[in-house]
Chain A
Amino acid sequence: MTHEQAKTLIGERFGGAQIEGATLLTVTVPAADWRPFASFAKDELGCRFFSFSTAVDWKEQGLEVVAKVDNVDTGLSILMKTKLGPGVSECHSLVPVFRGADWMERECYDMFGIRFDGHPDLRRILLGDDWVGHPLLKSYAVDTPHPPYR
């Protein structure tokens, strides 16, 4: 499937999606379509390779969750995004679709405090269980000591 075909298919199935980019397709979907879009990318676009997922803190505009999936046979890469909106830190988990999302979403929870609905085992992964705060939020200052950091 070429990039153009993929673009058309996404446009037909997900009316609310914004599609940009040439080699790496960037698709922004509403938060409600997050998991359905991932299933669609996996089953119908053949993007079965789960590359990574993460988030971006856009300050007052809120958090944005990002994930990348690839079709290793055709070279189609999709960077999928969804904006959670100001003050929202809940998102649907992709673990039911991709097992690779397990650790990635745990890291995302650890760093941004995003609670992934449907994740089987959401707990901190890189930081200790007693860590306070979520370091990759823009509100988390770099130059002040945070407990339990001493």
Chain B
Amino acid sequence: MSLDTPQATTRVELDYSGGERLTMNMGPQHPSAHGVFRAILTLEGETVVAVDAVIGYLHRCHEKLSETLTYAQYPSIASKTDYVAAMTSEFAYVMAAEAIGKIEVPKRAQYLRVICAELQRIASHLLWLGTWCMDMGGALGGGATIFLYAIREREAILDLFESLVGARLLYGFFQVGGTRYDIPAGWADQCRKTIADIDSRIGEYEGLLEDNPFFQARAQGVGYISRELAEDVGIAGPLLRGSGVNFDLRKSAPYSSYEDFTFNVPVETAGDCFARYRVRMVEFRESIKIIRQALDKLPDGPISSRPGLKSVAQIRIPKGEAYSRVEGPRGEVGCYLIADGSAKPYRMKWRGASFSNLAVLPHIIPGVKVADVVAIMGSVDPVFGEVDR
């Protein structure tokens, strides 16, 4: 057993003279990672003193790939970055192309985009809630209880997506200038019913969790992120708002008609796992509010300002550059696009929310117990398709 770990770079010197240091691999195939992630932990007893995060197992070089695909082809590939919230990355990509090309998006398409983005946020948060609670397992009296409920609700949303686009996970719903499909007959009613069901049950899940002292013990005061660290590392979404920063792109830089809807942005100041949990639980309800308003006010009209696609090289974007960003379930998903006048981008950069969020781990994990690493990882909600891109 080596006393020295050459991989570990962040090291906290504790006043500890008792035992030896142990290097432990958590991953790449660890259930709590929700993907392929390897954390090389240096332990003193049960306490983590250093961590080296190894990522890249799912790297497909989307940025190089996008230089070889046209503006018509890439949106459906974009969904494969964050596959748990596929709508979000498609959204960011088409918005960047529309910004450079100064392409108008009809009001109906903007509302449809909002409806899908918010349904996606609920679906993504449900998967987070279920898996996070399962990670913390036995403390919640069986562990899989919340997971099965959450997956049940998520299924109903995936059914909605399936009847809209024909796919359940990776959609290709967005295209430059609008959306690819309009909602079929009866979809709006089905959507209202689904969100009403979820709305009526969220409170029960909160009750199940928050009345449980074990859950409180594992979430409260664990994984503290200060406001200063949050901004410095650039973490976004529920993590940033859980650390007391009131920053939500839907409010601070509204896009796609978000200014038409009334909703609140939850902010918690504690900065721990429990604060991040609270932010997401309120976001369920706010998303439901937005969907209801969008369905009520859904305007008539075309769903795209461009003619239907007949060839892959049909969309040409003039020379220029733009940075577009949307508020995804995990925070700011940005697309920095440089166009050279052809049918393919010259350069495209993804600002993956999960990548930045995960980068906070080496700053907060040293000093915690191994069991808390699992709780903290879950509260960060990383999706490794988006981390590795």
Which positions in A face B, CB cutoff 8 Å? 23-24, 48-52, 54, 56-57, 66, 68, 72, 75, 79, 98-100, 102-103, 107, 111, 120-121, 124-128, 135-136, 140, 142
B247 A51 Cβ-Cβ under 8 A: no
Contact of A51 among B9, B68, B229, B332 (CB under 8 A): B332
CB of A50 within 8 A of CB of B233, answer yes
**Residues of chain B whose beta carbon lies under 8 Å from any beta carbon of chain A:** 9, 55-56, 59, 61, 63-64, 67-68, 228-229, 231-234, 240, 245-247, 252-253, 323, 332, 334, 336, 338, 346-347, 349, 351, 355-356, 359, 363, 388-389
- Contact at B56–A125, with CB atoms within 8 Å? yes
Q: Which residues of B contact A66 (CB under 8 A)?
A: 336, 349
Q: Which of B246, B336, B363 contacts A99 (CB 8 A)?
A: B363
Give the Cβ gap from A13 to chain B, nearest Cβ, in Å: 22
Return B26 CB to nearest CB of chain A, in Å: 18
CB-contact partner of B231 in A49, A102, A124, A142, under 8 A: A49
Q: B245's closest neighbor in chain A, by CB?
A: A72
Question: Ordered nearest first, which 7 A-B pairs have the shortest CB separation?
Answer: A126-B56, A100-B234, A50-B234, A52-B351, A72-B247, A100-B233, A103-B359
Task: Pick the residue among A50, A54, A102, A120 that contacts B336 (CB under 8 A).
Answer: A54
Cβ-defined contact, A48 with B334, below 8 A: no
| A100 and B359 within 8 A (CB) | yes
Q: Output the least CB separation between A60 and chain B (Å).
A: 14
Query: What residues of A have a CB within 8 angstroms of the CB of B240 in the complex?
Result: 72
In whole angstroms, what is the CA distance A48 to B346 when docked?
A: 30
Complex CA–CA separation, A52 to B63 (angstroms): 14
Please report the C-alpha to C-alpha distance between residue A54 and residue B234 in the assembled complex, in whole angstroms.
14
Other 15 A-B pairs with CB < 8 A, given A72-B231, A99-B363, A111-B63: A49-B234, A51-B351, A52-B334, A56-B347, A79-B323, A98-B234, A99-B229, A103-B355, A103-B356, A107-B355, A120-B9, A126-B55, A126-B56, A126-B389, A127-B59
Contacts of B346 in A (CB 8 A): 56
Q: Give how many A-B residue pairs fall within 8 Å (CB-CB).
A: 85
Q: A140 CA to B68 CA in the complex, in Å?
A: 13
CA distance A24 to B320 in the complex (A): 14
CB distance from A121 to the nearest CB of B (A): 5
CB-CB < 8 A to B389: which residues of A? 126
Q: With A126-B55, A126-B56, A126-B59 as known contacts, state yes or no: A48 contacts B388, CB within 8 Å.
A: no
Kindly name the residue among B228, B247, B388 whose own CB sees the greatest number of chain A CB atoms within 10 A: B247
Contact (A99, B233) CB under 8 Å given A125-B55, A127-B56, A128-B56: yes
Chain A residue with minimal CB distance to B358?
A103
Distance (Å) between the CB of B316 and the closest chain A CB?
20
- Residue in contact with A54 in the complex, picked from B64, B68, B349, B388, CB distance below 8 Å: B349
Complex CA gap A120/B252 in Å reads: 34
Chain B positions within 8 Å of A49 at CB level: 231, 234, 247
In the complex, which residue of chain B has the Cβ closest to the Cβ of A123? B9
CA distance A98 to B230 in the complex (A): 11
| Given A52-B334, A75-B253; A68-B231 close (CB under 8 Å) | no
**Which of chain B's residues have a CB closer than 8 A to the CB of A99?**
229, 232-233, 363
A76 CA / B64 CA spacing, docked (Å): 30
User: In the complex, are the beta carbons of B64 and A100 less than 8 A apart?
Assistant: no
The answer for the CA separation of A68 and B59 in the assembled complex, in Å, is: 23
Name A72's closest neighbour in chain B (CB-CB). B247
Tell me whether B349 and A142 are in contact (CB under 8 A).
Answer: no
Cα A120 to Cα B232 in complex, Å, equals: 16
| Distance between Cα atoms of A128 and B55 in the complex (Å) | 10
Residues of B near A120 (CB, < 8 A) are 9
